[in-house]
């Protein structure tokens, strides 16, 4: 029953914009240590993110950067088993943050308390952190990094207690949940279902113009869905790339924005949803901060 629960909050849609870290160390099934720190992301805070976690640029002015804090953080996770709720998001944040400072990824295994909760308490109407915490009577101030990490740790401990298992590894084996690792996180999917129209979007790069690093799309992953009235999808992708975005064909956990054509946006309001829309909604329900942007709002942002 030894593991470390972690949680990140970010300043904007870029995964490496860490502004808060929560760490909860569990030893022999008991919380042994809790650590929380604000982080200066050296990037702009977006209104949407601040609205969620309440952290502002002023609050992190004197906080360490991720690069400065990394030696301390590494001591907690190196060669450990990590737990997080929606772990693919937090591991993605860690991976992108390390790439940003040119540091190698440490060795660890990671499990997901969201996936564990779905297996152990399948009848809950959803398995968001707040829902599971409420069901288990776990006190939670959601989107506080330390509170979220603690709740994730307690969910894992309650799951082990309920299933009479003695480790994250044993619990995962019981429910056929594969533990991840930095190596497996870097593997690319072997199958692709990109449409022919989206297949080449990833190859579109910014034209030779200065990039605004404070633009909401800078560093973000964007996926398009539906027919656009004002322009073709490749032209829209070029506009997005000129803002520093990366355009992808399919929605996944790294997606930051789903841009919806006006015709399909009208259908979406009526409840008619594309596969990409349904996928984004499912990820948002799991806690991923993905924004849905209509065609007209997209045009205002890129022009």
Q: In whole angstroms, give the CA distance from residue 258 to residue 82.
A: 30
* pLDDT tens digits for range 137-196: 999 999 999 999 999 999 999 999 999 999 999 998 998 888 888 765 555 444 444 444
* pLDDT tens digits for range 6-19: 999 999 888 899 99
Which pLDDT score, from 0 to 100, does residue 213 have? 83
Q: How far is CA 210 from CA 34, 145, 219, 222, 270, in A?
A: 43, 35, 14, 20, 40
Which pLDDT score, from 0 to 100, does residue 154 have? 97
Mean per-residue pLDDT of the chain? 87
User: Which residues contact residue 190 at a Cβ distance below 8 angstroms, ignoring those fewer than 6 apart?
Assistant: none
Exposed/middle/buried for residue 229 (C-beta within 10 Å: 0-12, 13-18, 19+)? exposed
Q: In whole angstroms, give the CA distance from residue 159 to residue 177.
A: 13
Q: In whole angstroms, give the CA distance from residue 264 to residue 272.
A: 8
Listed residue (184, 303, 302, 202) closest to 248, CA to CA:
202
Paired with 110 in beta bridges are: 82, 180
Q: In whole angstroms, give the CA distance from residue 169 to residue 172.
A: 5
Q: How many CB atoms lie within 10 A of CB 99?
A: 13
Look-up: residue for tokens 């906080």? 63
Which pLDDT score, from 0 to 100, does residue 94 have? 95
List the chain pLDDT tens, one digit each, 303 residues: 899 999 999 998 888 999 999 999 999 999 999 999 999 998 889 888 899 899 999 999 999 999 999 999 999 999 999 999 989 889 999 999 999 898 999 999 999 999 999 999 999 989 999 999 999 999 999 999 999 999 999 999 999 999 999 999 999 899 888 888 876 555 544 444 444 456 566 667 677 667 788 888 888 899 998 888 888 888 888 888 888 888 888 888 889 999 988 777 666 666 677 788 888 888 888 888 888 888 888 888 887
Q: Which two tokens stand for residue 266?
A: 């009208």
């Amino acid at each position: 029953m030894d593991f470390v629960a972690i949680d990140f909050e970010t300043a904007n849609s870029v995964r490496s914009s860490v502004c808060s870290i929560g760490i909860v160390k569990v030893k022999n099934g008991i919380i042994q240590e809790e650590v929380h720190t604000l982080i200066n992301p050296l990037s702009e805070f977006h209104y949407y993110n601040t609205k969620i976690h309440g952290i502002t640029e002023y609050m992190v002015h004197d906080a360490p950067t991720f690069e400065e804090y990394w030696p301390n953080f590494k001591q907690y996770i190196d060669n450990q088993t990590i737990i997080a709720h929606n772990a693919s998001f937090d591991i993605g944040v860690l991976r992108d943050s390390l790439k940003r400072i040119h540091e190698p990824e440490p060795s660890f295994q990671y499990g997901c308390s969201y996936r564990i909760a779905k297996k152990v308490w399948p009848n809950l109407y959803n398995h968001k952190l707040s829902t599971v915490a409420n069901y288990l009577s776990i006190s939670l101030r959601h989107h506080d990094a330390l509170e979220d990490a603690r709740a994730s740790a307690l969910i894992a401990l309650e799951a082990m207690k309920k299933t009479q298992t003695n480790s994250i590894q044993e619990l995962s084996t019981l429910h056929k949940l594969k533990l991840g690792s930095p190596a497996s996180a870097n593997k690319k999917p072997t199958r692709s279902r990109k449409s022919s129209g989206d297949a080449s979007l990833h190859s579109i790069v910014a034209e030779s113009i200065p990039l605004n690093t404070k633009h909401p799309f800078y560093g973000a992953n964007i996926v398009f869905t539906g027919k656009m009235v004002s322009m073709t999808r490749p032209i829209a992708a070029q506009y997005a790339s000129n803002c520093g975005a990366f355009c992808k064909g399919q929605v996944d956990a790294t997606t930051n924005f789903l841009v919806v054509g006006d015709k399909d946006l009208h259908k979406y309001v009526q409840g008619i949803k594309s596969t990409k829309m349904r996928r984004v909604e499912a990820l948002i329900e799991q806690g991923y901060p993905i924004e849905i942007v209509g065609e007209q709002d997209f045009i205002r942002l890129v022009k």
